Amino acid sequence: MNPDFTTIASDKAAGLFPSYIDYIRFPRFRNLAANARVDFEFPITAFVGQNGCGKSSALQALFGVPKGKSVSTYWFTTALDPIENLRPEDRHCFVYSYNGTGDEVVKRRINKKGQPDLFDTSEPIAAYGMTMGVRHPPVEKEVIYINFRAIPNAFEKAFHRVRPPTPGIQGHLRMRSKVLRNALDKQYDYRFSIESRPQEFVIREDMLRVAEKILGRSYRGAKVVKHALFGEPGYSVFLETEKAKYTDAFAGSGESAVMLLLHELSYAKKGSLLLLDEPETSLHPGAQEELMRYLASICIKQRIQIVFCTHSPTLINGLPPAAIKVFSPDPSGTFRIVQGVSSREAFGYIGHQISDKMTLRVEDRLAQMILQRVIDDEVVPCAHMFDICFIPGGCDEMKKDSVVFSSHDQKNVVMILDGGKKPSGPLMDPSMIPNSQYEDLYWG
């Protein structure tokens, strides 16, 4: 386990995370099972599951938790995807608690005239299992939400607006790139009012060093520029190495994403809520490992509560079970939230193949069939983690094999005996067995 995770757990137990969100539950929300719940027992939380299982929906709900924020920023009704108008007690909502008080705050869809998608706080609602009486205030907390699947840079947004790209768009981008270059050199012309000038942010030196660790490259400098010169608001990233200067138009998409993340975190306040949707996008496993180390470090230094959606075994590997929440299909057609699963178990839910399976060796075919049935019925998502082997020769052969496995330090092999050769008398104290009889213990 990452040693930082131990520190994070200790800091959480000591109450060092301000305005900490303890849990969120969903009496009714989108495609989640009724009363699904997430307990944030660890300040870094991973939402794991297959596509379309409600992970991003829950992440967007968290965006709407703090005061002044609404999930309607990302979820709103349209003619193609209408949100049905329900009775007040059946409306989409979520309930959460923070700072360890147990006091609950409810936010639900209000369906206000002129604002049909507004989610706002309301009085406690008995139908949601809330304690009636005092209306508690929402948590005040800065929130940073980054969807790594949907952050193409300004150049890509303009270039791919028409498919396939036309020769005309290339000329447009050449012209606008020149204007952007002049703007960066502070050579503004009549096109710009003060409000519309590109905003330039230099990536700090310490953040550059972080980027180097994550991306495995050396940088002399980097800038993030917010502008609308290519047609709509977006970001451009300017990078400089020892050998070249280039923009995100020719950088790897992973480079752009990491720089934008570091830019956002440069301004993050202590105790912020950081929400990341598939941060593994365009990053190789080694880069993902370094990203997780960095996230753990800022969790400690800035007391940032982090929640992310992922399909990546690399990102969840090593996280404690308290940090992993699996979104899994329910027979009703909704998605339940399974808590407290290990990273290996979570791999099963997302269909990741395990190379170091646990081998279970049994004495006969009946034992093999019984054990297989138990695994298939009780640990369905994790069934692929086990190989059940019937060993001809029964207990005697298994005892011989145990010597081989022990000598090779194989820790993923388990012998399961049926007890048919259990000694009738008391077992001998191992410390009383002479060395000359050790062979007899193993070979029978």
**pLDDT tens by residue, 373-385:** 888 777 666 666 7
Q: How far is CA 417 from CA 97, 361, 408, 421, in A?
A: 48, 9, 21, 9
Confidence band, pLDDT 50/70/90 cuts, at residue 123:
confident
Given a cut of 70, whether residue 438 has pLDDT beyond it is no
What does DSSP assign to residue 20?
-
Q: What average pLDDT does range 292-311 have in this prediction?
A: 96
Given a cut of 50, whether residue 172 has pLDDT beyond it is no
Tens of pLDDT, residues 16-48: 999 999 999 999 888 899 999 999 999 999 999
Tens of pLDDT, residues 263-273: 999 989 999 99
Question: Going by C-beta distance under 8 Å and a sequence separation of 6 or more, which residues neighbour residue 50?
Answer: 311, 327, 349, 350, 351
Assign domain 3-142+268-349 to its CATH superfamily: P-loop containing nucleotide triphosphate hydrolases (3.40.50.300)
Mean pLDDT of the chain: 80
- Alpha-carbon distance 229 to 85, whole Å? 40
pLDDT at 1: 61
| Domain regions of the chain by residue span | 3-142+268-349, 154-261, 358-443
Element housing 12 (H / E): helix 3-13
What does DSSP assign to residue 4?
H
- Alpha-carbon distance 194 to 397, whole Å? 83
Q: How far is CA 395 from CA 367, 420, 428, in A?
A: 12, 9, 20
More confident residue, 294 or 193: 294
Tens of pLDDT, residues 155-167: 454 444 444 444 5
Given a cut of 70, whether residue 440 has pLDDT beyond it is no
DSSP for 68-132, written as a single string: T--GGGT----SSSPPP---GGGS-EEEEEETTS--EEEEEE--BTTBTT-EEE-S--GGGTPPS
Look up tokens 């009636």; give the residue.
132
pLDDT at 410: 62
**Nearest partner of 295 among 1, 49, 4, judged by Cα:** 4
Given a cut of 60, whether residue 299 has pLDDT beyond it is yes
pLDDT at 407: 54
Confidence band, pLDDT 50/70/90 cuts, at residue 306:
very high
Q: What average pLDDT does range 412-435 have in this prediction?
A: 75
Tens of pLDDT, residues 107-121: 888 766 666 677 778
Contact 44, 12 (CB under 8 A): no
**Nearest partner of 20 among 307, 444, 319, judged by Cα:** 307
Percentage helix, strand, coil for the chain under 3-state DSSP, each rounded to 5: 35, 20, 45
Q: What totals of helices (H) and strands (E) does the chain contain, helices first?
A: 12, 18
pLDDT at 265: 93
**Nearest partner of 311 among 70, 130, 56, judged by Cα:** 56
What does DSSP assign to residue 32?
B
pLDDT at 159: 41
Q: How far is CA 402 from CA 1, 345, 395, 415, in A?
A: 29, 27, 11, 8
Given a cut of 90, whether residue 6 has pLDDT beyond it is yes
pLDDT at 46: 97
DSSP-derived 3-state class of residue 144: strand
Q: What average pLDDT does range 162-190 have in this prediction?
A: 51
Given a cut of 70, whether residue 177 has pLDDT beyond it is no
**Nearest partner of 338 among 328, 350, 348, judged by Cα:** 328
Q: What average pLDDT does range 145-157 have in this prediction?
A: 68
Confidence band, pLDDT 50/70/90 cuts, at residue 249:
low
